[in-house]
Amino acid sequence: MKKEWNGDYFIKYVPGLTDSGYLDPRAKQEIEKGNEAAQMENTAEPSLQDMRDAMGWPAARDISKHPLTITERQTDRGVTVRIYERADLSGNVPVLLFFHGGGFFGGSLDNVENPCRLLADLDELKVISVDYSLAPERPFPNGLLDCYTSIVWAVSHAGELGIDPDNLSVAGDSAGGSLSFAVSLLDRTLGTYYIKNQVLIYPATISRGEERFWDLSNLKMKADQELITDYIHGFEASTDLVDKMYAENILPENPFISAAKTPLDQLAKMPRTLLAIGEFDPLRVQGEILFQHLQAADVDVTYLRYNGMIHAFMDKVGDYVQAADLLDETVKFILK
């Protein structure tokens, strides 16, 4: 995929989609199919299990090329982690802890199986995927503490795991991107400074946000305005339910649930950051606000905008070329 600098951040696009303002045809088809399915469903509210079962991308596939060793372990806190590594690795190598998406109430290790396989396949590093606890059964801060204590466990078992504790990164998509930021903030707040890099893939950066976090004027849509607007507003309508399940009794200004509300003096301590968002992701506006705040705090931050893309495109590895490209960019960033 071509990468182009626009003066503030990098724009990535596939051949045939070289201009901003247009949906990728695959993304457009995805939205339209989603709308058709919604119209065919009955009007009853889906159950929590229904919403969890709907997560993931059936067309995703494994495109790794090297033999991989995949094992599951339990951390000292009882959190299940799945460890991915190339079979030819030797010595202590960099490690990436990955936190899956799913609105804090869904998602699983299986949902990010193929992305984690590819991350481990691309270079000499180990990937530890964390099965953190979910809301509403275990709301904030349980999931965050699972993520942080998994990092502590990895560092304390570095020799056994064959990882370099001084070269540890975190990454996650959507809710997992939010947790990646929150766990980095907790790492700095507690003074442990375990995390060298963070990769935030279309993270939610605000809880119960103001209208400006949903301002579509900056998207500069040149086609399919109604389709895109309805898609984004539909996503916005679901956020109240997510907030209530995950952090109903937490003040929305708390930076551990609202990254974009983090004071600059705290942001200044954050690790090197890669932020990646689709052009028409409902979370793009709030993600870019966080990007601007990180810049203002003089954090080493890189922003990649994937033209034509919508939310959750990383899930589509093996199906969307943008997904594989994003994972490749992730590995290059953390090993730089």
DSSP summary character for residue 162: T
What is the model's pLDDT at position 43? 62
Short-list 58, 77, 131, CA closest to 100:
131
Portion of the chain with pLDDT greater than 90, in percent: 91
Maximum mean pLDDT: which of 18-22, 144-148, 241-245: 144-148
Portion of the chain with pLDDT greater than 70, in percent: 99
pLDDT higher than threshold 70 for residue 42: no
What is the model's pLDDT at position 95? 98
What is the model's pLDDT at position 41? 66
What is the model's pLDDT at position 112? 98
**Would you give the distance in Å from CA 164 to the centre of its chain?**
23
Cα torsion 317, 325, 228, 204 to 10°: value is 90
Identify whether 141 is preceded by a cis peptide bond (ω within 30 of 0).
yes
The residues carrying an active-site annotation are 174, 281, 311
Q: What is the C-alpha separation between 320 and 284, in angstroms, rounded?
A: 19
What is the model's pLDDT at position 63? 97
What residues pair up with 276 in beta bridges, in sequence order?
A: 201, 304
Q: What is the C-alpha separation between 93 and 84, in angstroms, rounded?
A: 12
Ramachandran region of residue 10, left (φ > 0), alpha (ψ -120 to 50) or beta?
beta
Split at pLDDT 50, 70, 90, the class of 19 is confident
Whole-prediction pTM: 0.97
- Per residue in 139-183, pLDDT (tens digit) is 999 999 999 999 999 999 999 999 999 999 999 999 999 999 999
- Per residue in 46-82, pLDDT (tens digit) is 899 999 999 999 999 999 999 999 999 999 999 999 9
- Can you tell me whether residue 137 is helix, strand or coil? coil
What's the rounded mean pLDDT across residues 251-266?
96
Transcribe 273-326 into DSSP letters. EEEEEETT-TTHHHHHHHHHHHHHTT--EEEEEETT--TTGGGGTTT-HHHHHH
Q: What is the mean pLDDT of the chain?
A: 95
CB neighbours of residue 65 within 10 Å: 10
Please return the burial class of 30, using the count of CB atoms within 10 Å of its CB with bins 0-12, 13-18 and 19+.
buried
- Per residue in 77-90, pLDDT (tens digit) is 999 999 999 999 99
pLDDT higher than threshold 90 for residue 297: yes
Greatest distance between any 2 Cα atoms in the chain: 56
- Can you tell me whether residue 221 is helix, strand or coil? coil
What residues pair up with 81 in beta bridges, in sequence order?
A: 73, 130
